[in-house]
Amino acid sequence: MGRLFWKIFFTFWLTLLVAGTASGIAVWWQHQRTDTPFSDHPPPPPPNAANHHPPRHFPFALFAAGMIASFVSSFLLAWYFAHPIRSLRGAFRALANGDLTRRVAPEMGSRRDELADLGHDFDDMATQLQSLMSSQRRLLHDVSHELRSPLARLQVSIGLARQQPEKIASSLERIEHEAGRLDKLVGEVLTLSRLESGVPQPMDEYIDILELLDTVIDDARFEANSLSRRVSFQCDLEDSPVIQGRGELLYRAVENVVRNAIHHTAPDTLVTLGVYRDASSSNLHITVDDQGPGVPEAELQNIFEPFQRSSTGSNSRNGYGLGLAIARRAIESHGGTIRASNRAEQGLRVEITLPLPQQSSAVS
């Protein structure tokens, strides 16, 4: 039984107690004044009735006072419980009409019961909905902005192909390149949408971590060589742990982090991918270090949001797109965490933490 039950119980009990006490006092006072015994048929008046006080009438004044007191207390009781419910009803109506800024906690005052808890839960729900709607609007705006540039270049290439038929080969190459960028962007948006939809994803694959990291490193080295970067791999695992999840999501998560490091590290520098096991917490840690300009401390928490841009202008690829956002959602769907921090030497470190099963098997 919660606080609201006891409030109702004691309030009604005190109301009945006050009403009953007032009625008893009124009856007792009436009989005391008339000297009438408590019976249905009072005895006849004595011969010297003139020496006795005449019987008094019913105390309507006291009865009216009791009625007024019970009415006021009942009114206050009804208001006390109906007011927050009315506020909640108005807030739900405003929410249904699209007003996500409505909050009911200020109207609850200093209440400390289930109705106040319900009001706080409503405020939390409204805040979460407002955040989700803002994120969706921002994502829609950013996607529209990102789509505009390759679409504009496609239109220019098509126009050049029509005006200058002798350059149709280069125009077709540009069209193919921009079409590939559009396809990649749409694919990333769909992946991010699936991860943020909240629909449970099947986690029925057994993933060999070292095999997955080896694949990521091979692909990363191919891209790094074309950009005059180098990639190294450091591992202190004696065996290869196997975790259950979705191999494609984990691969994309680690690959996006490594590719981000490759494109933001300085030319002719090293990107280091490390993996180690924390025996005390049964977690697997994957770190990716670059030697780029790093990220301002105030922006570290935002680089995992879609289309976030860094204020550092030392790199021509000054943006994070959707890669890190997909990485965060993919890691969180596996029960892990991902965070970024600036290295003391120089550059950025992204650390991925994944929970390991109690007994992880090794791959021979």
β-bridge partners, 272: 232, 289
With CA atoms as reference, report the closest residue to 63 among 93, 89, 37, 24.
24
Residue 266 CB neighbour total at 10 angstroms: 16
Say if residues 272 and 350 touch (Cβ distance below 8 Å).
no
Say if residues 121 and 136 touch (Cβ distance below 8 Å).
no
53 in catalytic set: no
Edge-to-edge strand list for the sheet holding 270-278? 230-235, 270-278, 283-289, 348-355, 337-342
Task: Estimate to the nearest angstrom the gap between the alpha carbon of 114 and the chain centroid.
Answer: 22
Catalytic residue among 31, 145, 177, 263: 145
Q: What angle do CA 243, 349, 252 make, to 5 degrees?
A: 40
Residue 28 CB neighbour total at 10 angstroms: 11
Cβ neighbors of 94 (< 8 A, separation 6 or more) are: 102
Task: Estimate to the nearest angstrom the gap between the alpha carbon of 25 and the chain centroid.
Answer: 59
Say if residues 178 and 157 touch (Cβ distance below 8 Å).
yes
Annotated catalytic residues are 145
